[in-house]
Amino acid sequence: MISGPQLPFPANEPEMLFCEGTEGAKQLKQALEHRDVVEIPAVIGGKRLFSNDVVEVRAPHDHQRVIARIHRPNETQVREAIASARSVARDWANLSLASRAAVLHRAAEIISTRHRVRINAATMLGQSKTIEEAEPDSACELIDFFRFNAYNAQKIHAEQPLSVATAANRADWRPLEGFVYAVSPFNFTAIGGNLTTAPAIMGNTVLWKPSEKSALANFICFEALEEAGLPAGVINFVPGEAELTTRIALSSADLSGIHFTGSSAVFQSLWKRVASNVGAYRSIPRLVGETGGKDFVVAHPSADVDALSIALIRGAFGYQGQKCSAASRAYIPKRLWGEVSKQLRDRLAELRVGDVADPKTFMGAVISEASHQKLSRVIESSKQDSGVRLIFGGKTWSDPGYFVEPTVVQVTDPRHTLMQEELFGPVLSVFVYEDNAWAETLALIDATSPYALTGSVFSTDRFALHEAENVLVNAAGNLYLNDKPTGAMIGQQPFGGMRASGTNDKAGSFMNLLRWTSPRVVKETYLPVRHWKFGA
């Protein structure tokens, strides 16, 4: 039953503009210039643990600059984190939902005010985001996750079975029995805040393994939750080596669920490990994973070319193409391609790649040396490939950071690997189709890639939009009509995909929260039956 204040449907956190000359811009500049190296401990049962197993975190656009040092916990400490999550589980579950929601609301206020600049600066430095990419992520979306998770939990708790004159029935929205293992990716600071607090608002306790590359911003998020009064042990910050931490977490009989966002390959490896161990768990662990994408943009011959080319630029190259939803394969009819390719070339020639602290920069660096090497290899081999034509870009350089120019390639074979595999970088592959091959092109899109995360359809013809929606029904969990395939907002476009893109549990919505509860239904009869014979 609900107790405590009734939360209204939350409004999305408004974006703060850090325009030159404003107080916000001044504070941001100072935070970016701050040269202190942050020591990031594991935090287990509220205790900060420093170790000798240290990993440096460097700014991808300036890789000589160390911004943080992660103190990785050892095997014993990971086990202690599990024990800590278990020891506080009953008390946390027994708190009213209103008390748990209050923690998230306070954390939202803390991020919205005193930690806003700090967490944005950490996201810019650690993940190489411009402020235009950091603010919607590490401030707005993180805050939205906190507020919407609290609101949606209330909505679930309000859902109750029918009671009658002779009996009362009630759903007791219990957490799962055990702990949830939350594993977050580098590319959105907000995701770590959601993977942990979605289970926590439903009463679960959590082990959080962040990505090393986003550990600084994620640690600030964790500190905001602590400041907001999150009791020790409810979320344990465990920035350990991925394999070791996962092996220990997944071998515990108390594992009740995995809340993962990252690549499809890693999620599949976790799934296999759980499957091979399934008899050893106290419950059947819930597996929730939002994973990779090879997101499409398809233009009908009736498409608005200006809107299309802007959507391709923003969708493919925002945050260097390192969004799971980034446009990475496009299908353009022959009759539009001349104008679209001209607009792409003209506009991309103006697009600045470089230091994210410079307000004129549109694209920073890619996340790591490994990613840079992979993208450089793919681009170089495309240049040698007779089936690929370079339309724009193609340069990469690794000093002072891991930079890749926005790159557009045209393929002659629509099933080229460039149209199928997730590259996770600023490379857009285009297939130009015959103007009368709209229906075949839709079928091709559906069958080309194993992923099904996001997609966009551009057309001014209502019948064409309708046809695309039908044919592509299983090709994307989030479909956009006349818009870029990125930029989902919490509460507006619940996010997630199918096929190799994950379990489609719609992050930030009530659907995701349902995975973290195991309801008990209690019936109380007022007048027990006193005869064993029917009709007596």
CB atoms within 10 A of CB 439: 12
Residues in the chain: 536
State how far the Cα of 239 lies from the Cα of 212, in Å rounded to an integer: 7
* Nearest distance, CB of residue 287 and ligand NAD, angstroms: 13
Helix (H, G, I), strand (E, B) or coil at 492: coil
Q: By C-beta, is 183 or 442 nearer to ligand NAD? A: 183
State how far the Cα of 32 lies from the Cα of 29, in Å rounded to an integer: 5
* Nearest distance, CB of residue 377 and ligand NAD, angstroms: 17
How is the chain split among helix, strand and coil, in percent rounded to 5? 40, 20, 35
State how far the Cα of 335 lies from the Cα of 22, in Å rounded to an integer: 46
Q: By C-beta, is 237 or 424 nearer to ligand NAD? A: 424
Comparing CA positions, the residue from 295, 288, 290, 291 lying closest to residue 419 is 295
* Nearest distance, CB of residue 325 and ligand NAD, angstroms: 7
Q: Which residues have a catalytic role annotated?
A: 290
Q: Name the token pair of 405.
A: 């120019």
Q: By C-beta, is 16 or 242 nearer to ligand NAD? A: 242
The letter for the amino acid at 147 is R
CA 13 to centroid of chain Cα atoms: 17
Helix (H, G, I), strand (E, B) or coil at 479: strand
Of all residues in the shown chain, the one whose CB is closest to ligand NAD is 262
* Residues making contact with ligand NAD (CB under 6 A): 183-188, 191, 209, 211, 242-243, 246, 261-263, 266, 269, 290-293, 324, 422, 424, 453, 495, 497, 501-502
* Nearest distance, CB of residue 282 and ligand NAD, angstroms: 22
CA 440 to centroid of chain Cα atoms: 32
Which position has the token pair 């995909």?
497
Is the CB of residue 79 less than 8 Å from the CB of residue 223? no
Q: By C-beta, is 13 or 295 nearer to ligand NAD? A: 295
* Nearest distance, CB of residue 234 and ligand NAD, angstroms: 20
* Nearest distance, CB of residue 454 and ligand NAD, angstroms: 9
Q: By C-beta, is 27 or 368 nearer to ligand NAD? A: 368
State how far the Cα of 313 lies from the Cα of 316, in Å rounded to an integer: 5
Strand partners, 290: 261, 502
Q: By C-beta, is 243 or 399 nearer to ligand NAD? A: 243
Number of H helices, E strands in the chain: 16, 23
